[in-house]
Amino acid sequence: MPTQIRWCPPIPLSAAEEAVTQKLRRTGKFYLFLREVRAELFDDAFQTELAAAYQPRGTAPLPAALLAMVTLLQAYDQVGDAEAVETAQVDLRWQLVLGCLGCTRAPFSQGALVKFRERMIAHDLDRKLLDRTVALAKQTGRFGWQHLRAALDSSPLVGAGRVQDTWNLLGRALGTVATWAAKAVGRPRTEVLREAQVTLLAAPSLKAALDIDWDDPTAQTGALARLLAEVDQLEQWVARHVPDVRQTAPLQAALTALRRVLAQDLEPDPVTQVRRIRRGVAADRMPSLGDPEMRHGRKTRTRPFNGYKRHVLKLLGPNVIVGALVRPANEAEHLTLAPLLPTVTALGALDELFIDRWAASTTFAGRIASPGLLPGGDRCLRIGATVVTKEARCQRSVQRRGANWSSRSAPGIVAPVWTTSAGCWTSLSRSPGTTASMPSACSIRSLPEFPGGTVDGIRCTTKPSGRR
């Protein structure tokens, strides 16, 4: 049975604590907030839930609520587990919150933090801890952000599957079907291949079995016809000997994968109508059978990759990640905003959202302008597009994403800003803190693509060189 241990620090301030709080009135408001609300934050019900997930054991078990409070301090100060132990020994602010003011040893160990965090995340209690803390901040008004500023960015995440060309992908898909077909009927794989008259799977690889001159287009055409004939023969064998494929889920999945590879990587010849290898890449091509959800993607024009994109939403200022999402590499990036944005708006009103230039699409701009996405007030979406004016070309000055256009922009750089309260695009002029109206040529339809658009009467360009 887990030990039901409670963290019960005193509520009134001691004389020593009062002396510390006086020094934190201006610069340590978060520590004061946690010290004042810790009894409400970790009430009996929440402590029971934390203890059930953590299950503290041993001769000197640690309260789960104490370790949860340490994770809040870690997130605020951006420190790791080893540094957290040292900080708790020397930092009076941490000692004030943890109820161990004046201690010479930390009331927890590095190993205990690791185990507790793993179990807390497994039971989704990290999200509940954050939600309870935010709710108390709103309810009491003792701590909070006056202006929420967030940034959304993405980075490549390479998939775990082996990326293969059409020939090897077809060979592996065909071999998988043969393997599961043999298991479905309870017979050796070699016997199934012999009855189905499939000979290309006997060699170590499909290309070794075909053994052709791969630089000869005619030889490739004949090899593909031979391969497709054996694909048809194996499918016919499965249809005769496994009447209900749906009862064998792995075999049905293998057949589905094989048919998908055929559909995505082959196309009819425009002259002979005979199937040939597709010219170009299919829009949603599956490049691997080992990791079927990964896709071809491109971070930049010169940086292709295969796998996924991880999207991270971070609060600027507190430097806290509040949302993350992993999606296939070929998925349009602006689609991630809808599921991620509520993680910020749940914390308060969002004043500014910094995003890359992919957001400057006509569809996306219309969604941002829709009511409720960025609710209330004079909120604006600042897009990290590169807009180089005629003056900036001489300086070769390019404003990169995530910069504060109103205070850091170099002379001559004008940033496009969508202001939801005005319902139109505006431009931040080179004077910090001021705005100017966009000319009609840079309307919501023409601005994202910059087709002859102008800013302050000067033609826009998205090229760092400054040329149109």
Lowest-pLDDT range, 109-123, 133-147, 320-334?
Answer: 133-147
Q: Please give the pLDDT value at position 338.
A: 82
Per-domain boundaries in the chain:
15-144, 147-160+294-346, 166-277, 356-468
Beta-bridge partners for 459: 454
Q: Please give the pLDDT value at position 56.
A: 67
Q: Please give the pLDDT value at position 256.
A: 94
Nearest-angstrom CA–CA distance, 121 and 118 = 5
H-state helical runs in 149-282? 166-185, 189-196, 206-210, 217-241, 249-265
Average of per-residue pLDDT across 302-325: 87
Average of per-residue pLDDT across 116-128: 90
At which residue do the structure tokens 């004046």 appear? 102
Looking at mean pLDDT, say which of 108-112, 386-390, 458-462 comes out highest: 108-112
Which of 463, 423, 466, 420 minimizes the C-alpha distance to 443? 423
Q: Please give the pLDDT value at position 457.
A: 36
Report the chain's mean pLDDT, rounded to a whole number: 76
Q: What is the pLDDT of residues 196-246, one digit of tens each?
A: 999 999 888 899 999 999 999 999 999 999 999 999 999 999 999 887 877
Rounded alpha-carbon distances, angstroms, from residue 331 to 98, 281, 343, 451 = 45, 15, 21, 25
> CA Rg, the chain, in Å?
30
Looking at mean pLDDT, say which of 53-57, 356-360, 372-376 comes out highest: 53-57
Q: Please give the pLDDT value at position 137.
A: 86
Are the C-beta atoms of residues 97 and 34 closer than 8 Å to each other?
yes
pLDDT greater than 60 at residue 98: yes
> What's this model's pTM, rounded to 2 decimal places?
0.62
- Considering the chain, what percentage of its residues have pLDDT values greater than 70? 73
Average of per-residue pLDDT across 116-145: 86
3-class DSSP state for residue 393?
helix
At which residue do the structure tokens 């990036």 appear? 333
Pull the structure tokens for residue 317: 């200022």
Q: Please give the pLDDT value at position 350.
A: 77
